[in-house]
A and B are shown apart, each in its own frame.
Chain A
Amino acid sequence: MRTAPCGFVSFGDDGTMLEVNDTLAAMLGYARVELLGWHVDRILPPGGRIFYHTYLFPLLKVQQSVEEIYVALRTKDGVDVSVLLNGVRREIEGRFVSDCVCLRMIQRHEYEAQLLAARRLAEESSAAKAKFLSMISHDLRTPLTAISGNAQLLAAGELGPLTSEQFESVREIRQAVEEQMMLINDILEFVRLDSGHIQVQPRAISVAEVRTRAESLVRVQIAEAGLRLTSHGCDDELRVLADPNRLQQILLNLLTNAVKFTPPGGEIAVACEQDGGRVRLHVRDSGIGIPSEHLQRIFWPFVQLDSAALPPARSGVGLGLAISRDLARAMGGDVTVSSTLGVGSTFTIDLPAAQELVDSR
């Protein structure tokens, strides 16, 4: 034991070291007798003392054992040595002692230092990205507000009468501004979601009401695209636990996508079903479909599949699905997809059923 290839220390509940092996003493540059009878604080750096008193000792006392704890020990010369500690607390003749073995970490210490540095860098980079996106979005929105306001004045004839060509030109300006504003709002929304600043307030709501509102907002688009919209199973009594505005946002996004990717003459179907404690809303289209290797990627932020093949008005920054899924997850649900190339895609919003619905079935 005294020369085993790992350090050993045994201490009482009061922290007094009752046994130390030669390996540990040598690791720390002490003679064994210089440690016996001293408090463990003697071999801990100041931060390590806080760690011992607030974590390690309480865990040993209540849990009776600890495993794989990273601890820094301080040598007699004031150098810190990293060890991995396993400990067991046991009773000997009415007195509790904790026996701990300490394995020196050298390569693993370096490896973990690299991991930590990489994680910090990633966190800093993520924070910087969020700040940048938020700032740039704000800066982009300010001039758009001015463009939109002036275009509105022109269209209303406040700055004099317009010819029909001028009026059409102003209408296009306003439409482009609206699309641009939507993209910027998507970016801002995504930044807020990514940094955990979006709050959802789920409550029991009627799926049919949300569906009706969302459908009314895309009805014109659907008609203009020469598509047909059908609905099945979204009964009035089907209630879901969700934030109504957020659910509408998700549904609207899925419907808008379906319109974008379904050729004229196609069909978009909204179907609802309850499965135990879950409610699912399916948005099925008879569109171009998604290759199976891309099914997960479409939920990644800033991913747009085959955007080059789309006319400019149909492309976006690729945030809609990422936002939709994050919002659904924030409400205890999810958005998933299944698709067959050339046949169409089905997006499913899965959410918890409202409790009264679950109870009544």
Chain B
Amino acid sequence: MTDALTRNNVHVSGSGTQPMLFAHGFGCDQTMWRFVTPAFERDYRIVLFDYVGSGKSDLSAYDAQRYATLDGYAQDVLEICEALDLHDVVFVGHSVSSMIGVLAANRAPERFSCLVMVGPSPRYINDEGYVGGFERADIEGLLDLMDRNFIGWANFLAPVIMKNDERPELAKELNDSFCSTDPKITRRFAETTFFADNRADLANVRVPSLIMQCSEDSIAPAEVGAYLHHSLPQSTLHLLKATGHCPHISHPEETIQAIKSYLAA
């Protein structure tokens, strides 16, 4: 087995002891968390990683069969926990990572203290008696968009180096590339993510959870937040003022405060 820490490009920082494991969502990599993690560096041990196929993960470790379902990604999370001997973990997952956290916590509840879910959804596609927000054709539209961008993806998902004379502090980080992902893997990750249905896993969760629901989130609408709150035992629903689906990027301060308040309670 490839070393999980190398495979998933794991970075550990912070001066605290309790681990906070930040799991990025679909479409990006661990750099998504850079507006949020500094606020927790002092009190926690921060663990960041890239899913295989994202960021600087080991692309050769990609196994289409393993990652055909979210279980493969959950297995990666558990292998990272094992490699670093993490216990009492605060798992912070954005979007699809919330459900990956659910699967990991169901398999090894003893490792997790709580799950913090940012914009979670257990199923994106509408079903009888369930509002996910999308029809199957909508997701196929997304996949088509991705295919078309992969035709000329040179400036898109490839590592990008940007010159910004006005904000030189960005240069180094951008030299390290942002959102660099393998297009084929990302497309498969999109299928795995948006066709997934993890509703049946919710009732089995034995660790407390915080559901951070954004206002006017067109990817995870309010009905989804309510469904999760109803289905997840020991859950707390927090409605953010932040709009959109990426509050940790658009409204990092509010995101930080919501997490801190929950952890302090």
> Residues of A at under 8 Å CB distance from B?
13-15, 39, 41, 45-51, 53-55, 57-59, 61-72, 80, 82, 112, 115-116
Closest 6 CB pairs of A and B: A47-B141, A47-B142, A54-B27, A46-B138, A53-B245, A70-B148
Q: Given A53-B218, A63-B178, A70-B145, A58–B32 Cβ distance below 8 Å?
A: yes
Determine whether the beta carbon of A68 is less than 8 Å from that of B152.
Answer: yes
Determine whether the beta carbon of A53 is less than 8 Å from that of B148.
Answer: no
B25, B139, B245: which has the most chain A beta carbons within 10 Å? B245
Which residues in chain B, 149-179, are within 8 Å of chain A measured between CB atoms?
149, 151-152, 154-156, 160, 162, 164, 167, 170, 173-174, 178-179
Task: Give the CA-CA distance A115 to B149 in the complex, in Å.
Answer: 12
Interface residue? B109 (CB, 8 A):
no
Task: Give the CA-CA distance A71 to B164 in the complex, in Å.
Answer: 25
Determine whether the beta carbon of A57 is less than 8 Å from that of B134.
Answer: no
Query: Which of A47, A57, A70 interacts with B246 by CB under 8 Å?
Result: A57
Query: Which of B135, B142, B155, B249 interacts with A61 by CB under 8 Å?
Result: B249
**Which residues does chain B contribute within 8 Å of A69, judged by CB atoms?**
149, 156
Query: Which of B27, B133, B155 interacts with A58 by CB under 8 Å?
Result: B27
Query: Which of A50, A64, A112, A116 interacts with B162 by CB under 8 Å?
Result: A64
Q: List 30 A-B contacts (CB under 8 A).
A: A13-B250, A15-B243, A39-B243, A48-B141, A48-B142, A50-B138, A50-B194, A50-B219, A51-B145, A53-B218, A53-B245, A54-B25, A54-B26, A54-B27, A54-B95, A54-B219, A55-B156, A58-B27, A58-B28, A59-B156, A59-B179, A63-B162, A63-B174, A68-B154, A68-B155, A69-B149, A69-B156, A70-B145, A70-B151, A112-B151
Determine whether the beta carbon of B249 is less than 8 Å from that of A57.
Answer: yes
Please name the residue on chain B nearest to A123 by beta carbon.
B184
Determine whether the beta carbon of A67 is less than 8 Å from that of B155.
Answer: yes
Q: Classify chain B's interface size.
A: 35 or more
Please name the residue on chain B nearest to A109 by beta carbon.
B148
Instruction: Please encode chain B, from 233 to 262, with 1 for each CB lying within 8 Å of some chain A CB and 0 for all others.
Output: 000000000011110011000000000000
Determine whether the beta carbon of B139 is less than 8 Å from that of A47.
Answer: yes
Determine whether the beta carbon of A57 is less than 8 Å from that of B250.
Answer: yes
Task: Give the CA-CA distance A61 to B95 in the complex, in Å.
Answer: 18
A39, A53, A57: which has the most chain B beta carbons within 10 Å? A53
Query: Which of B140, B156, B250 interacts with A66 by CB under 8 Å?
Result: B156
Determine whether the beta carbon of A61 is less than 8 Å from that of B250.
Answer: yes
Task: Give the CA-CA distance A61 to B33 in the complex, in Å.
Answer: 13
Please name the residue on chain B nearest to A60 by beta carbon.
B249
A41, A63, A112: which has the most chain B beta carbons within 10 Å? A63
Interface residue? B146 (CB, 8 A):
yes
**Which residues does chain B contribute within 8 Å of A68, judged by CB atoms?**
152, 154-156
Determine whether the beta carbon of B28 is less than 8 Å from that of A46.
Answer: no
Task: Give the CA-CA distance A23 to B140 in the complex, in Å.
Answer: 29
Query: Which of A14, A55, A65 interacts with B243 by CB under 8 Å?
Result: A14
**Which residues does chain B contribute within 8 Å of A51, judged by CB atoms?**
142, 145-146
Determine whether the beta carbon of B135 is less than 8 Å from that of A46.
Answer: yes
Query: Which of B142, B155, B167, B216 interacts with A50 by CB under 8 Å?
Result: B142
**Which residues does chain B contribute within 8 Å of A70, judged by CB atoms?**
145, 148-149, 151-152
Task: Give the CA-CA distance A282 to B33 in the complex, in Å.
Answer: 50
Query: Which of A39, A59, A115 interacts with B216 by CB under 8 Å?
Result: A39
Please name the residue on chain A nearest to B135 by beta carbon.
A46
**Which residues does chain B contribute within 8 Å of A67, judged by CB atoms?**
155
**Which residues does chain B contribute within 8 Å of A58, judged by CB atoms?**
27-28, 32, 179, 246, 249
Q: Given A14-B250, A70-B152, A47–B144 Cβ distance below 8 Å?
A: yes
Interface residue? B43 (CB, 8 A):
no
Determine whether the beta carbon of A62 is less than 8 Å from that of B216.
Answer: no
**Which residues does chain B contribute within 8 Å of A80, judged by CB atoms?**
141
Whole-angstrom distance between the Cβ of A265 and the nearest chain B Cβ: 46
Task: Give the CA-CA distance A63 to B249 in the complex, in Å.
Answer: 12
Determine whether the beta carbon of B162 is less than 8 Å from that of A47.
Answer: no
Task: Give the CA-CA distance A45 to B134 in the complex, in Å.
Answer: 10
Determine whether the beta carbon of B156 is less than 8 Å from that of A71.
Answer: no
Q: Given A47-B141, A68-B155, A112-B151, A53–B178 Cβ distance below 8 Å?
A: no
**Which residues does chain A contribute within 8 Å of B9, judged by CB atoms?**
none
B134, B139, B145, B194: which has the most chain A beta carbons within 10 Å? B145
Interface residue? B192 (CB, 8 A):
no
Known: A64-B162, A116-B148. 19 other contacts (CB 8 A): A14-B243, A14-B244, A46-B134, A47-B143, A48-B141, A50-B139, A51-B145, A53-B219, A53-B244, A53-B246, A54-B95, A54-B246, A55-B28, A57-B250, A58-B27, A61-B249, A63-B174, A68-B154, A80-B141
**Which residues does chain A contribute within 8 Å of B219, judged by CB atoms?**
49-50, 53-54
Task: Give the CA-CA distance A72 to B144 in the complex, in Å.
Answer: 10
**Which residues does chain B contribute within 8 Å of A41, judged by CB atoms?**
218
Interface residue? B31 (CB, 8 A):
yes
Please name the residue on chain B nearest to A39 by beta carbon.
B216
Determine whether the beta carbon of B160 is less than 8 Å from that of A63.
Answer: yes
Please name the residue on chain B nearest to A82 by beta carbon.
B148
Task: Give the CA-CA distance A207 to B148 in the complex, in Å.
Answer: 47
Please name the residue on chain B nearest to A330 by beta carbon.
B60
Which residues in chain B, 173-197, are within 8 Å of chain A measured between CB atoms?
173-174, 178-179, 194
Whole-angstrom distance between the Cβ of A262 and the nearest chain B Cβ: 37
Task: Give the CA-CA distance A101 to B250 in the complex, in Å.
Answer: 22
Whole-angstrom distance between the Cβ of B159 and the nearest chain A Cβ: 11
Task: Give the CA-CA distance A152 to B27 in the complex, in Å.
Answer: 59
Whole-angstrom distance between the Cβ of B175 and the nearest chain A Cβ: 12
Whole-angstrom distance between the Cβ of B247 and the nearest chain A Cβ: 11
